Amino acid sequence: MRSNRAHIRAGVSMAATLPMLAGALALGMPAAHAADSPGRDAIAGTKPLWATAKADKGAASNGAQVSARVYLAGRDASGLAAYAKAVSDPDSASYGKYLTAAQTQSRFGATKAQVTAVRSWLTSAGLKVTGVSRHYVSVSGDVAAAEKAFGTQLHNYAKGSKTYRAPAATASAPDSLNGAVLTVTGLDNAPHKARHADTLPEPSAVFKNAGPFSSYYGSKTASTLPSAYGKKIPYAVAGYTGKQLRAAYGAGSHTGQGVRVAITDAYASPTIAYDAATYAKKHGDAAWRTGQLRQSLPGTYTRTEECDAAGWYGEETLDVEAVHAVAPAANVTYVGAASCYDDDLLDSLSKVVDNHLADIVSNSWGDIEANQTPDLAAAYDQVFQFGAVEGIGFYFSSGDNGDEVANTGTKQVDTPANSAWVTAVGGTSLAVGKGDSYLWETGWGTQKASLSADGKSWTAFPGAFTSGAGGGTSATVAQPFYQKGVVPNALAKARSAAGNRVVPDIAAIADPNTGFKVGQTQTFPDGSQQYSEYRIGGTSLAAPVIAAVQALAQQARGGKALGFANPAIYAKYGTKAYHDVTDHPTGSGLAVARVDFANGYDAADGLLTSVRSLGKDSSLSAVKGYDDVTGVGSPAKGYVDSYRRH
């Protein structure tokens, strides 16, 4: 599925949008293949919801080409889910008894016989095998061969203003395969617009923040600007640094020594090593050791124009610099995907798991739940389950559009943060005071009002909603066991009496108005490429910050992997391990003044002055206790040390 990465460097590093999963499988439940017709097993989720009779435009041409992946269920899909749960649950006798990657593959992976049988089935139908991994068999061929293999007709359907191909009925596989097929992707080609490229574009156009700035929250008051909420407000911070974030989230003496963190995004910044080293030196972070930052990259890249490849450079830069700023001794491996499409991102995640490149994986990308498809949900959740068995935890941004109503017209959560097998990271507005003291946090939600022409008031204060931490109740994922008894029924049962997954699980700094400073090589108006710095935010910041905090906690635990952390995160709910974040920590409205360059980089075209309200996240609210903006809260000083007792 396509990723459309919106990179708003005026403040928010938006999560890449990519239509994929969300973990349609309830925690602990394997994929089900119901009997479809004699001799065939249905492959659930392969007929998209938009492929309706009304939208049907007739059969696809027999000669049209199809590229698909058949994902393998492995030896014991239900056993994999059960073991993944057991090793992650602090109340289980199997807690922390992880398997190696080789042991996991031997116990739960596909057998050679299964792979041979799947290949034989596909080739006998006339499809050509184009690749085989331990997770899938990829094939290509014409529509006629695909229809024969998967027991369904492929039709063209109207979807919006365009037409795409999809199965007219749920695909199926021969029951003689004995459940070897987990799912198949690619029969639905919306919106597969492949574009191959061997090189990456140059860095994006420069972005800089205008001042004045606060060096810490409240250090510089906007005394000449109008009041907001009955008082003069401070200027936005220039951008917090690692020293301030480490103090806010209780790093203490821990540095992440001996812990491996992986970061997945699409593409790869050609200047990341230089930028990360320069940033660390400028801001007092520990210098990168030789070999401490590694990259695992594909041989070629695709869809660079469609995915805005250069826009992903800033995402990688933010993630790498944020992890190092908070956990300066942790080893970091960047795993770049060949594109922003699901198959390539899945390959990156699988690379981490198959080679156990890290115990902690930060992922700052996702999409709205309405774009999820159950076939991809199954493929993603299987990777997450393999990771859990090995002691690998995945951390995903919860999204930057609050309840998504302003963005899509429909209240919904983001994926894959809504998978029951990942840790969804929400966002806060963070106030760090003088002496790096933690003052407070609110849920991240911004309303913006511009300065009036006469400079005496804020126009239509507090203004319109612009961005905020993603959260809410999933429409597709059942409530996982670890949320029961913690998440209020008003949230858990908002969509079904049985209960559903609620996002997020935990939270950290995300508001770009109280954001993090990053350093990146960018392209200036004169065409030169230079290192420069700017403040940025989004849950794309929160995810690597939490991943880094987890690295500190793993070090505190003596290096023992935390694995899939949600059961342990919820077990600490209500303790001093967390800041219980609310929207009104001072008892009244909060806001900052912000000045931006109209052209994004200098004052030649003037300045734009605005007020940004804090704690105004669409229809979502950060309240006492668990909430769907910040989850159980943000890490407090007691969080890292709480792992010493495990």
Give residue-wise pLDDT tens across range 414-472: 999 999 999 999 999 999 999 999 999 999 999 999 999 999 999 999 999 999 999 99
| Every domain of the chain and the residues it spans | 35-194, 201-645
Helix (H) or strand (E) holding 389: helix 374-390
Please, which pLDDT band fits residue 14 given cuts at 50, 70 and 90?
very low
Map residue 221 onto helix, strand or coil.
strand
Angle between the N-to-C axes of helices 374-390 and 342-354, in degrees from 0 to 180, rounded to the nearest 10: 20
Q: Which residue has the tokens 């990465």?
A: 5
User: CA-to-CA distance for 379 and 344, rounded, in angstroms?
Assistant: 12
CB proximity list for 366: less than 8 A, separation 6 or greater: 15, 16, 17, 18, 396, 397, 398, 399, 414, 415, 416, 417
Alpha carbon distances (Å) from 138 to 114, 131, 338, 497:
14, 5, 16, 40
Residue 517 has pLDDT above 50, yes or no: yes
Alpha carbon distances (Å) from 600 to 145, 207, 314:
52, 5, 15
Residue 141 has pLDDT above 50, yes or no: yes
Residue 473 has pLDDT above 90, yes or no: yes
Q: Is the peptide bond before 512 cis (omega within 30 degrees of 0)?
A: no
The pTM assigned to this predicted structure is 0.93
β-bridge partners, 363: 264, 396
Which whole number is the average pLDDT over 358-387?
92
User: CA-to-CA distance for 126 and 144, rounded, in angstroms?
Assistant: 9
Give the pLDDT of residue 201: 72
User: CA-to-CA distance for 632 and 448, rounded, in angstroms?
Assistant: 27
**28-37, 506-515, 561-570: least confidently modelled range:** 28-37
Give the pLDDT of residue 170: 95
Q: 211-259 pLDDT, tens per residue?
A: 999 999 999 999 999 999 999 999 999 999 999 999 999 999 999 999 9
Find the DSSP H helices in 142-208.
Answer: 143-150
Say whether domain 201-645 belongs to CATH 3.40.50.200: yes
Give the pLDDT of residue 374: 84
Nearest CA to 158 out of 20, 21, 17, 48 is that of 48
More confident residue, 194 or 356: 356
Give the pLDDT of residue 200: 63
Q: 278-337 pLDDT, tens per residue?
A: 999 999 999 999 999 999 999 999 999 999 999 999 999 999 999 999 999 999 999 999
Nearest CA to 371 out of 93, 644, 2 is that of 2
Both structure tokens of 639: 């969080």
Contact 215, 235 (CB under 8 A): no
Please, which pLDDT band fits residue 645 given cuts at 50, 70 and 90?
low
Give the pLDDT of residue 37: 65
Give the pLDDT of residue 16: 41
Give the pLDDT of residue 191: 53
